[in-house]
């Protein structure tokens, strides 16, 4: 093989690898971006009234009274994102049960969408006080490392008051 044909072959190989890399990056971006959605795309939590929230939670039987300690996990039927926070939920449940909280799991349906805009998500209340309302975390993996709910619960258990409502995030969520 002549030196010219070797350099042409090398240039073709480099070009093919480059095209393959660019194609892989675009394909990954396409599939990841399809899973990423806004948690509260309609901004319904922007001005949530805590008193109205507690009334709705009580009316729907999600909490027993304003003196209850409750963690309510929401999932949506057919949502591929439900599996993402499963191990995180187990850790949260273990922590809050040791602190006397009741834990329940609910399917997000039309009756709850005025309270919770998407799933998977969680509400934490303690003695008539909203501790947390929103997703477990944000981003593609919604992992424990960027958890909003852990921060709110830990701060609350250390005596800090919190009424954290997280709505302006993007991650793996399903709207009902």
- Written as six digits, the tokens of 71 are 């963690």
Residues facing 103 on adjacent strands: 71
Q: Which residue carries 């044909």 as its tokens?
A: 5
Whole-number pLDDT of residue 152:
93
Query: Please, what is the average pLDDT of the chain?
Result: 83
pLDDT of residue 46: 80
- Is the model's pLDDT at 34 over the cut of 70? no
- Between 40 and 143, the more confident residue is 40
For the segment 37-91, what is each residue's pLDDT rounded down to a tens digit? Answer: 889 988 888 877 877 887 888 888 777 766 689 999 999 998 888 887 888 899 9
Q: Look up residue 113 and give its DSSP letter.
A: T
Q: Which ranges of 73-138 does DSSP label H, i.e. alpha helix?
A: 86-98
Torsion-angle region of 134 (φ positive above 0: left; ψ -120 to 50: alpha; else: beta)? left
* CATH 3.40.50.1860 for the 39-175 domain, yes or no: no
Q: Please choose, from the candidates 102, 111, 104, 170, the residue with its C-alpha nearest in 3D space to the C-alpha of residue 135.
A: 170
Residues 82-106: what's their mean pLDDT? 91
What is the C-alpha separation between 117 and 128, in angstroms, rounded? 22
How far apart CA 53 and CA 66 sit, in angstroms, is 11
Q: What is the pLDDT of residue 158?
A: 92
Residue 5 pLDDT: 63
Q: Which residues contact 50 (CB under 8 A, 6 or more apart)?
A: 130, 163
Q: Which of 22-31, 39-48, 108-117, 144-153 has the lowest mean pLDDT?
A: 22-31
Q: What is the pLDDT of residue 162?
A: 75
Phi, psi for 112 (deg, rounded to 5): -105, -5
Tally of CA atoms within 13 A in the half-sphere of 170 that contains its CB: 7
pLDDT at 142: 67
Strand partners, 171: 37, 139
Q: Where are the domains of the chain?
A: 3-36, 39-175
Per the DSSP assignment, residues forming a β-bridge with 129 are 126
The per-residue pLDDT for 33 is 58
What percent of the chain is predicted at pLDDT more than 70?
A: 86
């Amino acid at each position: 093989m002549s030196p010219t044909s070797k350099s042409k072959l090398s240039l073709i190989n480099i070009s093919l690898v480059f095209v393959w890399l660019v194609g892989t990056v675009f394909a990954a971006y396409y599939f990841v971006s399809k899973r990423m959605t806004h948690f509260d795309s309609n901004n319904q939590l922007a001005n949530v009234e805590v008193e109205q929230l507690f009334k709705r939670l009580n009316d729907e039987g999600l909490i027993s009274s304003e003196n209850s300690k409750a963690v309510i996990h929401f999932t949506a039927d057919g949502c591929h994102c439900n599996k993402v926070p499963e191990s995180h939920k187990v850790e949260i449940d273990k922590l809050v049960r040791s602190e006397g909280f009741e834990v329940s799991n609910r399917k997000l349906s039309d009756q709850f969408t005025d309270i919770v805009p998407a799933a998977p998500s969680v509400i934490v209340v303690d003695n008539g006080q909203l501790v947390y309302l929103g997703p477990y975390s944000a981003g593609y993996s919604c992992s424990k490392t960027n958890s909003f709910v852990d921060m709110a619960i830990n701060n609350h258990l250390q005596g800090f008051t919190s009424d954290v409502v997280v709505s302006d995030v993007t991650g793996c969520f399903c709207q009902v």
